Structure 1
Amino acid sequence: MIISKVLVANRGEVALRIIGTCRKLGIATVAVYSEADADALHVAAADEAVFIGPPPAIDSYLVVDALIDAARATRCDAVHPGYGFLSERAEFARAVGEAGLVFIGPSPEAMDAMGSKIGAKNLLTATADGVPVIPGYAGADQSVPALVAAAADIGTPLLVKASAGGGGKGMRVVRDLAELEGAIASAKAEAAASFGDDSLLLERYFDSVRHVEFQVFGDAHGNVVHMFERECSVQRRHQKVVEEAPSPALGPRLRAVMGAAAIAIARAVAYVGAGTVEFIVDASPPHLGFEDSESDVLPPFYFLEMNTRLQVEHAVTEAVTGLDLVALQIAVAQGEALPSLLAHCPWAVDQESADRCEPPPLGAAIEVRVYAEDPLNNFLPCTGRVDLFVPPTSPPGVRVDAGIATGHAISVFYDPMVAKLTVSGRNRMEAIRAMRTALAHTAVLGVTTNIAFLDAIVGHAAFAAGETLTSFIPTHTPAAALVAADAAARATDTPRLAIAALVYGWVVRARARASPSAPRPHLLRHIPSGWCNTARTRTQKQLIALPGGGAPIAATYRAVHETGASAPATLAPQAFELSLPGALVGADGELVFDVLLGELDGDYRMRLAIDGASAWYTCHAGIAADAPDAEGMRVFVHSPSLSPQSSGMGVELVSRFASSKGYASTGSGSSSGRDLTPRAPMPCKIVSVGVAPGDTVFAGDTLVVIESMKMQTKVLATAEAAIVDAVLVNPGQLVAAGDVLVILVDDDE
């Protein structure tokens, strides 16, 4: 059959990705959306869109009947599940087929066999000779006593792992069996919330491994090929952060052996469509998982799991092969055969019998996932409005897969991904340089992101050397190192941040004065008694509150030969004389700068020369939270000339009439002056409360467990000893960021 109209049963960047390929193929598309996604990009991009329910995924994107009804109502003939949500649910694929629609993916039987990690391990142990599996427990008895007994046999360290789903959810590392029952309980709860299945398996945990996966593709005629490997070893919380192809560790022999194993696994379930077979490669010292061309012995590898869907990181494979995997999915779903579809790919022939497999034909590629999260705060998601998103256009050819735009919100209900960036080069070092350039030119203002963290990874000497083990992040980029780098970068970049914010604030005010339609702030009712409304002087004074806290500093600036700016176009070029306190950089007296606003490009970009050093700055200004007039504003500043740790930070231009209390000490709630108040770090749901009034708690004790974006996080006590005075939340309650959860007092009060 010929597919002419596809319902995309997903949201965000993957929905846009599928819609884009369908448009190229002349296939009409239907989007679905929840109440939270009414203004989402994928809704606007599709030919039609159907509302399917409230914001929680369990009430919208996970409702099979709603999706089937939407497909029928819009006369679709196929459904593409994307990844996440229902993409690996056999019951969804089965329901699509029973409705007379084509499911663009594998058969329900293959999904049943491989979608359960427990079932997959048992199947391959019985049927696939030569495919090694990780030692562990994959039994049907899911009782806590059975799991505890199995764990004692396996030994520590071990991994408690959800049988369904992926993305690092429902996974816990246990190094002490005393922690096991707590890990089982939290993993079951997270797995049930994320996948509707709380089944667990236990596996021996390896501290030094590589995560290497093979992209496989099958058709309805019995053909199966692999499309080379991706290495995804750099992870946090068992979620992939950086993906690349080819793996820096695999040589032609290991690639051939692992590729043949991946094909054998796909054949074992008569796999059709795009899938990924994941392995771990033992990276114990001294070989670190590298294939040694001088040795006949290859590093050991083990089957991990099979993802029966398109992968988030599929763009890496597309970059090194030149293929469109979504287009191939659609072609295979229409009954086309892989030999004809891949006739131009000589590497796709005789893969199962070859003893060598050379790397992919188009060099190297790297992908990173830009998340709205705070690496310096345990990677907690950062929800809120994205005030400005400017994707990179440099280096040439950078691929951006984004599901949000300026003004969109990072929602508590879904994954906090902002965008995926994919770059390529003739070799790995070219790709690394290209990725660092792309990150430097990505502006996400208004929410905290992991961009600086990603740059720290791809810029690390160990990454350049290919020493990319799953322990990479805790070994090479722990929080303490990032905090130190952050502090050093801010000390260097603070003057430029302050100058850019001051000049952009001047531009915003000048544009407002020049525009007849600009809102006029009603100043008089906020002006203190005794204020004299005289003509402004040429030298302006401005209080600035810089990132990192502390009292505002006083800056002065003067626009040299200022013309009054009758129209925005006349604002540049404009010279300034500007001074900042020398204490900003540990110096005495004042720092004096000659600044030239050389060019304005649209609403957000300006070219600044600071003491002759010229660079582009991307800025966004919003009214400060406690500013009673348009004079106070918060300016976010991004520039490739700033360090990744500083770029994107916000600088407060403090109104002369603002209350000073926002910059004073907030107090602690205890007579000792310690801040004992645990607050919600983000909008979230309360999962459980672990304390009661009158309890004594110590630093590190769990007070409350919260859930946001399907990830559970413990809120811990920070005081050495404190008494619970009151508990302000209950399980199931939704709270806003900053809400007080528990009131603590000193135990000596």
Structure 2
Amino acid sequence: MFDRVLIANRGEIAVRIARTLRRLGIASVAVHTPSDAGARHVREADLALEVPSYLDIEAIAGAAVDAGAGAVHPGYGFLAENAAFARRCAEAGVVFVGPPAAAIDAMGDKIRAKATVSAAGVPVVPGAAESEPGPGLEAWRDFPALIKPSAGGGGKGMVLVRSAAELPEALESARRTALAAFGDGTLLIERYVESPRHIEIQVLADTHGNVVHLGERECSLQRRHQKIIEEAPSPFVTDAMRARMGAAAVEAARSVGYVGAGTVEFIVDGTSGAYHFMEMNTRLQVEHPVTELVTGLDLVELQLRVAAGERLPFGQEDVRLDGHAVEARVYAEDPARAFLPTGGRVLALREPGDALPSGEGGALPGGEGGGLPGGRGGVIPGRQGGGPVVRVDSGLVEGGVVGSEFDPMLSKVIAWAPDRDTALKALDRALAGTAVLGVVTNVPFLRALAAHPAVVKGELDTGLVERALPELLPEQSTTPPGDVLAAAALTFHAMPQGDDPWEVTDGWRVGERAWTTWRLETRDGVHAAQVRGLPEESADVLLDGAAVPARIRRSGAELAVTIGGRTARYLCVRDGDTLWLGRDGASWSFTRHLIGDPGDRAGAAAAADGVVRSPMPGTVLVVKAQQGERVSEGQPLLIVEAMKMEHTVTAPRDGVVSELSARPGQPVDMDAVLAVVTSDAVVTSEEA
């Protein structure tokens, strides 16, 4: 085994790897960019070194040598599937914890991977590639079709095309995203399978010719081709189907001399059960915790042991799936604004449980670790009892900044239980106990999705989320519920307004206390709430037209608000003029709106004013209009990119681009003014 391992990654996966290293008594080395110096993965490592970029091969290989690391674990993303990095590690005398470079080359390129596994007898989806002879992707006519970056993964750059008219622009967008995310703009196109299930098989292989699979994961709940909720085992897969797909995955791995942990992904017909190879991810997957929870295996430990030359400590006949696990990905994104990325500083944080605690190996349920005999290498110890267990893999820390340069995934909440229904309920409770104040997240959406009737029944396909959005989004409105608005007004009312006793907001008057009206601004506008009295002693709040007794109790960041005899508990923090409240996985921000404040404060303006604002923090990628140009409502004006996702900003009305402040490459904040479109009526009047 190694004495010291460098982790060539950041965020929750770097934290997760460091904790297994700590359990095994191996020193961990973190790398970080200048802006990430205070990140959680840096704090939890034994040693940290600065590098210019997480994609800088020379700098990271040099850091491994300087730190005396015997191996480099790449996590996922960044350089995890970069064959040049694997070769550079070998040149530096450092073990790459992953497959051989030749296997990365073969499977990391989707075009080559399809040809390889097809030759091995694994069924593949019909398609075409730019690297193959023929008329080119522009000539494709079998719609609907899916465009994919050949070198990519994680759903980035994938575009669904339903007609030939959409194809040219879709190819342009996919190629641009592929170049930005993977440094390779090569594309392929495949026939799109309607209503498919996305099911993947976890494989493990050592350097002694042993290859096994650890069952499947159901990954059909997706948006923008990116997974949201995953589970193991799949509610659709039978024992016989698992055996067939597992054998196909093992054969695919053998065909390229695979070593280490990898995942073979299949598109499966939800009616017939017919499956087709989609791609192989030559690395650890984001959703690996659900496999760990149902097998009792620590996949990171097994990766390290295989990289050190050890044999797998079990065979296929030893693998048993125990219970059910489900994982939800917490993203910095706003479902109420079409899932656009968000950002900000984490002002307050509450997470349920912890991931793989140091020295304990994780509080995993039931027995001796998935039924593998003897507690041999790779089995996570510490399984206690048979009740539901929650695990959180997170890169979050209070005070940390969530920017636009990295993927928006912040953490993963995973629940295990003896059965699927109990696991889903445990996940919901865990999400309700999650609060990230200062950054808008998708947690309420995750709760709604996990409770959707089709999800509860296990009737899944990759299009379910899009079809169910009208049912899932009503609770995602940016307008706060009445009791939350009242809680915010009561909190503001209780805050000291100054040292002058005449400024105390108790509403004291001769005869009867007066009402104080609080005008609070949220992302969707300004709302009024009325309070009288002192909330920490005795107060009233006007709710639904009636005066209701109210009181608040605060201890640090914990806030208990009693309105009309019912108490709700919040996580509460103030950031300058803004108050954040978090409850049941949701969060709201409020700013006091004084008389005379502009009604178009960031986030509160209507499109009718002609002002074009950035929908998310990011970078202006393309400017498609010019100042003085006449445009129509809905016409693309700019493309803003954040977290490897593009968003097209359109003209809010017919008119002329009277102001255009944005330039390609310019970083912008959320709601920053990019352009102004003056209405045709105003332009015509001025011309006259």
When normalised by structure 2's length, the TM-score is: 0.88
My pick for the range that moved more, 317-326 or 698-707, is: 698-707
The corresponding residue for 1:47 is 46
In structure 2, the partner of 1:61 is: 54
Using a 3 Å threshold, how does the CA distance of structure 1 residues 696 and 483 change in structure 2: closer, same or farther? farther
1:667 & 1:405 partners in 2: Cα distance? Answer: 26
Q: Is the 8 A contact 2:79 2:85 kept in 1?
A: yes
Task: Tell me if structure 2 keeps the 8 A contact 1:668–1:676.
Answer: no
Residues 1:271 and 2:207 aligned together:
no
In structure 1, C-alpha distance between the alignment counterparts of 2:204 and 2:602, rounded to whole Å? 59
Q: Which residue of the partner structure matches residue 636 of structure 1?
A: 580
CA shift for structure 1 position 697: 2.3
Q: Is the 8 A contact 2:71 2:97 kept in 1?
A: yes
Asked if structure 1 preserves the Cα contact closer than 8 Å seen for 2:523 and 2:603, the reply is: no
Q: Which of residues 394, 401, 408 in structure 1 aligns to 2:393?
A: 401
Q: Does 1:484 align with 2:474?
A: yes
**Counterpart selection for 2:174 from 175, 184, 187:** 187
Question: 2:567, 2:605 → 1: CA distance?
Answer: 47
Alignment of 1:287-436 (within 5 A): 287=271, 299-338=273-312, 341-342=313-314, 346-348=317-319, 360-393=320-353, 397-436=389-428
3-state secondary structure, aligned to 2:591: strand
Query: 1:89 is matched with which residue?
Result: 82
Indicate conservation of the 8 Å contact 1:121/1:138, yes or no: no
Q: In 2 relative to 1, CA 138–617 (structure 1 residues): closer, same or farther, beyond 3 Å? A: same
Does the CA contact (< 8 Å) of 1:575 and 1:594 recur in 2? no
| Deviations 1:176-204 (CA, angstroms, capped at 9, x unpaired) | 11221211111111101111111111100
Residue 597 of structure 2 corresponds to which residue in structure 1? 661
Moved more, 252-261 or 609-618: 609-618
Cα deviation code 1:109-162 (max 9, x no counterpart): 111110000110111222x12x1000001352489x52223x13xx11111110
Say if 2:150 and 2:186, in contact at 8 Å, map to a contact too: yes
What is the CA distance between 1:676 and its match in structure 2?
A: 1.6
User: Secondary structure of the residue that 1:94 maps to in structure 2?
Assistant: helix
* 8 Å contact kept, 1:722–1:744: yes
Aligned to 2:611, what secondary structure does the other structure show?
Answer: coil
Q: In 1, distance between residues paired with 2:44 and 2:601? A: 48
> Is the counterpart of residue 610 in structure 1 residue 610 in structure 2?
no
2:373 is aligned to none
Q: Is the Cα contact below 8 Å between 1:692 and 1:726 reproduced in 2?
A: no
- 1:593 aligned counterpart, secondary structure: strand
The 2-side partners of 1:446 and 1:302 are apart by 43
Looking at structure 2, the residues matched to 367 and 668 of structure 1 have their Cα atoms a distance apart, in angstroms, of 34
CA contact (8 A) 1:370 1:450 kept: yes
Uncovered stretches (5+) of structure 2, i.e. residues with no partner: 355-386, 683-688
Query: Does residue 689 of the first structure (1) align with residue 628 of the second (2)?
Result: no
DSSP 3-state at the match of 2:60:
helix
1:737 aligns with 2:670: yes
The answer as to whether partners of 1:10 and 1:32 remain within 8 angstroms in 2 is yes
Q: 1:610 to 1:579 in 2, by over 3 A?
A: closer
Cα distance in 1, alignment partners of residues 614 and 569 from structure 2: 37
Q: 1: distance between equivalents of 2:189 and 2:537?
A: 66
Aligned partner of residue 321 in structure 2, secondary structure: coil
Is this contact kept in 2: 1:680–1:735, CA < 8 A?
Answer: yes
C-alpha distance 664-230 of structure 1, shift in aligned 2 (>3 A): closer
Instruction: Provide the C-alpha distance between the structure 2 equivalents of 1:607 and 1:61, rounded to a whole number of angstroms.
Output: 43
Q: What is the Cα deviation at residue 506 of structure 1? A: 5.8
Closer, same or farther: CA 745–534 of 1 in aligned 2, 3 Å: closer
Task: Decide whether the 8 Å contact of 2:608 with 2:652 is kept in 1.
Answer: no
The whole-number CA distance in structure 2 between the counterparts of 1:666 and 1:8 is: 39
Q: Distance in 2 between matches of 1:596 and 1:659?
A: 27
Check conservation: 1:368, 1:421, Cα contact below 8 A.
yes
The CA distance in 2 between the partners of 1:92 and 1:337, in whole Å, is: 25
Larger RCO (CA under 8 A, 6+ residues apart): 2
Q: Distance in 1 between matches of 2:564 and 2:645?
A: 47
Distance in 2, matches of 1:408 and 1:73, equals 28
Corresponding letter in the other structure for 1:14:
I
Q: What corresponds to 2:454 in structure 1?
A: 462
Letter in 2 for 1:374: D
Matched, 1:593 2:548: yes
- Match runs of 1:94-173 below 5 Å: 94-126=87-119, 128-129=120-121, 131-138=122-129, 140-141=131-132, 146-149=136-139, 151-152=140-141, 155-173=142-160
SS of 1:161's partner is strand
Q: 2:376 maps to what in 1?
A: none
- Say whether residues 1:232 and 2:219 are aligned partners: yes
Amino acid at match of 1:39: G
Among 617, 621, 627, the alignment partner of 2:574 is 621
Contact 1:669–1:676 under 8 Å retained in 2: no
SS at match of 1:170: coil
CA distance in 2, matches of 1:201, 1:595: 61
* CA displacement at 1:716 relative to structure 2: 1.5
Deviation of 1:255 (Å): 1.1
Q: CA RMSD in A?
A: 2.7
Which piece of structure 1 moves more, 605-614 or 366-375? 605-614
Report how far residue 659 of structure 1 moved: 5.0
Conserved 8 A contact 2:489-2:529: no
Amino acid paired to 2:589: G
Report the Cα distance in structure 2 between the residues aligned to 1:669 and 1:233, rounded to whole angstroms.
37
Q: 1:649 aligns with which of 574, 583, 588?
A: 588
1:448 shift after superposition: 1.4
Query: Which of 633, 641, 655 is the aligned partner of 1:707?
Result: 641
How far apart are the structure 1 equivalents of 2:390 and 2:602?
A: 45
Q: Percent identity?
A: 42
28-37 or 446-455, larger mean C-alpha shift? 446-455
- In the alignment, which of 517, 520, 543 is matched to residue 545 of structure 1? 520
- TM-score (structure 1 length as normaliser): 0.81
Equivalent residues of 1:502, 1:653 under 8 A apart? no
Q: Secondary structure at the match of 2:389?
A: coil
1:255 alignment partner, SS class: helix
The answer (yes or no) to whether the contact 1:498–1:544 under 8 Å persists in 2 is: no
Cα separation, 2, equivalents of 1:536 and 1:736 = 38
1:546 Cα offset (Å): 5.5
Cα distance, 1:307–1:674 mapped onto 2, change above 3 Å:
same
CA distance in 1, matches of 2:531, 2:113: 67
665 and 389 in structure 1: CA distance in 2 versus 1, 3 angstrom threshold: closer
Distance in 1 separating the partners of 2:149 and 2:525: 45
Structure 1 segment 242-261 matched on structure 2, within 5 A: 242-261=229-248
Matched-pair contact (CA < 8 Å) for 1:376–1:482: no
**Who is 2:8 aligned against?**
9
SS state at 1:69 partner: helix
Q: How far apart, in 1, do the equivalents of 2:423 and 2:83 lie?
A: 38
What's the CA shift for 1:337? 0.8
Q: Which stretches in structure 1 are left out of the alignment for 5+ residues?
A: 54-59, 288-297, 349-359, 510-519, 525-530, 561-573, 625-633
Describe the shift of the 1:548–1:81 C-alpha distance in structure 2 as closer, same or farther (beyond 3 A). closer
Give secondary structure in 1 for the equivalent of 2:399.
Answer: coil
| CA deviation map 1:571-599 (0-9, x unaligned) | xxx5423121x5xx4xxxx42223344x6
Count residues with an aligned counterpart: 645
Task: Identify if the C-alpha distance between structure 1 residues 217 and 662 changes in structure 2 by more than 3 Å, giving closer, same or farther.
Answer: same
Query: d(CA) in 1 for partners of 2:175 and 2:503?
Result: 66
**Conserved? CA contact 1:88–1:165, under 8 Å:** no
Measure, in 1, the Cα distance between the counterparts of 2:523 and 2:619: 28
| Residues 696 and 723, structure 1, Cα contact 8 Å, conserved in 2 | yes
